[in-house]
């Protein structure tokens, strides 16, 4: 299995494209969401009752084409030189000091360590790492190598090396890959990324992890969150494998948040092909799960807990599940809250062996009852082509619920809009939120 997936990972990083997204060109559609205060860089509390709070520390930049900030002191950027930053470029020489684009370092690991040290030394409350597009190979001689995030360090991909403001990046076109395999070799790491409390990772493709070891090294090929609650935004997880669960992501005793992400072609021999939640209650919003697989159920997500004290009760909002044998499996002490979500082209949408999922305002199999639920064809623009935007006439338009866990923007970063050509059948303080990861724009 390791040799097979290693070969696939090499092909993924070098071929024109695989699965839903071409790793070398822009995402299907209009180029993805922007990186501004009102949309994609809105932080979400990691608690399951998240109110989609906005980040008040470093997410205040505005896009600029001027040279404002060009004369910041080394290690600082932003409109007023207020952001602590360490810079990474895969083509940088080894003598870089990570303090500007012209003196960038070439290893993300070291940039995160330096940013973390800046926080420890009270240089800044939060320090960011800006990563130039390219492929970064995590394997450095050992299967246990991993990119470990750090508290109060925010890691952003998708730069072209000229930006003076974070909002100037284009993470869909400037593809930044964290690869679990070694360059030009078949070796692979167990976990591409290790999460940490109060950390952020945003704008990366995470691929090629093979968690085929024992214990936790058999879980979370793309990302392992053990007693750690990171914030994950604008990330693609693809071609990751885990022997014992959570092919792409394994959460153990934590409540991370996943916003505007895409999980496709991940697999496990156990349960939770894309994500395994073990005594964990993540917040998952505006995220697509497509064509993941699991040997024992929960091709997209497995929720499991054996105690009511630490249940697995994720909040799943405005997501899309497509192309699975069993999309969502709930076992024992698990009771997810599913809102405004599309389940389509799955053999079984939800296999509920837990306390009973609460599913509302969702397009789901008619056997699953709940307030505002509908069934039928969502009328995707091109489901087989992985374009899950809604066509005119979709029953999902203006049929969702707007409340505390619903964001004001969709997977593309587009705002919620009222399609006046249809009757609003949704509910909440506004009645025109669409069901699914994408809001139809009119």
Q: Tell me: the pLDDT tens digits for 280-304? A: 999 999 999 999 999 999 999 999 9
Element (H, E) at 267: strand 267-268
CA–CA distance from 251 to each of 64, 194, 254, 260 (Å)?
38, 11, 6, 18
Q: Which has the higher per-residue pLDDT, 69 or 235?
A: 235
Token pair for residue 80?
Answer: 């007023």
Domain of residue 179: give its range. 2-391
CA–CA distance from 363 to each of 33, 211, 282, 319 (Å)?
24, 33, 21, 11
Give me the chain's average pLDDT, please.
86
Between CA 278 and CA 107 the distance in angstroms is 32
**For position 26, what pLDDT does the model report?**
35
**For position 69, what pLDDT does the model report?**
41
**For position 22, what pLDDT does the model report?**
37
**For position 184, what pLDDT does the model report?**
72
The count of structural domains within the chain is: 1
Query: Average pLDDT, stretch 47-75?
Result: 48
Is residue 70 in some structural domain?
yes
Is residue 419 in some structural domain?
no
End-to-end CA distance of the chain: 47
Three-state SS for 168? helix
Three-state SS for 8? helix
Is residue 426 in some structural domain?
no
**For position 25, what pLDDT does the model report?**
30
Residues 6 or more apart whose CB falls under 8 angstroms from that of 102 comprise none
Q: Are 238 and 210 in contact (CB under 8 A)?
A: no
Q: Which of 62-66, 163-167, 249-253 has the lowest mean pLDDT?
A: 62-66
Is residue 417 in some structural domain?
no
Question: Is the pLDDT assigned to residue 47 strictly greater than 90?
Answer: no
Token pair for residue 406?
Answer: 């619903």
Q: Are 288 and 21 in contact (CB under 8 A)?
A: no
Is residue 241 in some structural domain?
yes
**For position 100, what pLDDT does the model report?**
96
**For position 185, what pLDDT does the model report?**
75
Question: Is the pLDDT assigned to residue 40 strictly greater than 80?
Answer: no
Question: Is the pLDDT assigned to residue 60 strictly greater than 50?
Answer: no
Is residue 401 in some structural domain?
no
Is residue 91 in some structural domain?
yes
Q: Look-up: residue for tokens 């695989």? A: 18
Between CA 88 and CA 97 the distance in angstroms is 10
**For position 53, what pLDDT does the model report?**
39
Give 327-376 pLDDT, tens digit per residue: 999 998 888 999 999 999 999 999 998 788 999 999 999 999 999 999 99
Is residue 441 in some structural domain?
no
Q: Are 435 and 396 in contact (CB under 8 A)?
A: yes
Between CA 7 and CA 14 the distance in angstroms is 11
Q: Look-up: residue for tokens 């997501």? A: 319
Between CA 442 and CA 436 the distance in angstroms is 16
Q: Are 53 and 45 in contact (CB under 8 A)?
A: yes
Element (H, E) at 27: none
Q: Look-up: residue for tokens 């900030």? A: 69
Q: Provide the pLDDT confidence category of residue 70 given band limits of 50, 70 and 90.
A: low
* Prediction pTM value: 0.86
**For position 186, what pLDDT does the model report?**
79
Question: Is the pLDDT assigned to residue 57 strictly greater than 70?
Answer: no
Between CA 140 and CA 381 the distance in angstroms is 42
Q: Are 375 and 402 in contact (CB under 8 A)?
A: no
Question: Is the pLDDT assigned to residue 51 strictly greater than 90?
Answer: no
**For position 199, what pLDDT does the model report?**
98
State percent of the chain over pLDDT 90. Answer: 76
DSSP 6: H
Query: Average pLDDT, stretch 135-142?
Result: 92
Highest-confidence segment of 12-16, 61-65, 254-258: 254-258
Q: Look-up: residue for tokens 């932003």? A: 78
Question: Is the pLDDT assigned to residue 150 strictly greater than 70?
Answer: yes
b (16+ CB within 10 A) / e for 390-412:
beeebbbbbbbbbbebbbebbbb
């Amino acid at each position: 299995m390791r040799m097979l997936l290693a070969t696939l990972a090499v092909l993924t990083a070098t071929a024109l494209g695989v699965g839903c997204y071409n790793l070398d060109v822009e995402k299907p559609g209009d180029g993805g969401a922007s990186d501004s205060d009102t949309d994609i860089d809105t932080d979400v509390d990691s608690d399951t009752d998240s109110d989609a709070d906005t980040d008040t520390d470093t997410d205040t930049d505005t896009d600029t084409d001027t040279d404002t900030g060009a004369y910041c002191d080394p290690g600082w950027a932003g409109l007023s030189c207020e952001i602590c930053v360490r810079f990474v470029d895969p083509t940088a020489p080894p003598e870089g000091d990570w303090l500007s684009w012209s003196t960038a370092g070439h290893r993300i690991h070291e940039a995160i360590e330096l940013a973390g040290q800046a926080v420890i030394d009270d240089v800044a409350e939060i320090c960011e790492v800006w990563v130039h597009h390219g492929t970064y190979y995590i394997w450095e001689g050992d299967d246990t190598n991993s990119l470990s995030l750090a508290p109060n360090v925010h890691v952003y991909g998708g730069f072209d090396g000229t930006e003076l403001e974070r909002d100037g990046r284009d993470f869909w076109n400037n593809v930044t890959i964290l690869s679990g395999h070694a360059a030009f070799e078949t070796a692979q790491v167990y976990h591409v990324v290790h999460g940490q409390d109060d950390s952020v990772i945003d704008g990366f493709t995470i691929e090629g992890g093979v968690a085929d070891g024992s214990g936790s090294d058999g879980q979370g090929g793309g990302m392992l969150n053990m007693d750690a609650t990171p914030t994950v935004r604008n990330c693609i997880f693809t071609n990751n494998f885990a022997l014992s669960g959570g092919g792409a992501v394994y959460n153990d005793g934590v409540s991370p948040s996943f916003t505007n992400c895409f999980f496709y072609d991940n697999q496990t021999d156990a349960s939770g092909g894309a994500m395994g939640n073990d005594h964990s209650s993540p917040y998952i919003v505006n995220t697509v799960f497509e064509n993941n697989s699991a040997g024992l159920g929960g091709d997209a997500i497995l929720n499991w807990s054996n105690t009511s004290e630490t249940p697995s009760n994720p909040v799943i909002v405005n997501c899309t599940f497509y192309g699975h044998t069993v999309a969502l499996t709930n076992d024992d002490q698990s009771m997810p809250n599913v809102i405004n979500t599309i389940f389509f082209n799955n053999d079984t949408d939800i296999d509920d062996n837990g306390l009973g999922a609460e599913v509302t305002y969702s397009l789901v199999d008619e056997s699953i009852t709940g307030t505002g639920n509908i069934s039928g064809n969502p009328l995707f623009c091109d489901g087989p082509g992985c374009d899950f935007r809604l066509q005119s006439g979709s029953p999902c338009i203006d049929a969702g619920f707007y409340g505390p866990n619903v964001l004001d923007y969709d997977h593309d970063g587009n705002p919620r809009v009222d399609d006046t050509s249809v009757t609003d059948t949704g509910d909440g303080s506004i009645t025109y939120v669409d069901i699914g990861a994408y809001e139809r724009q009119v």
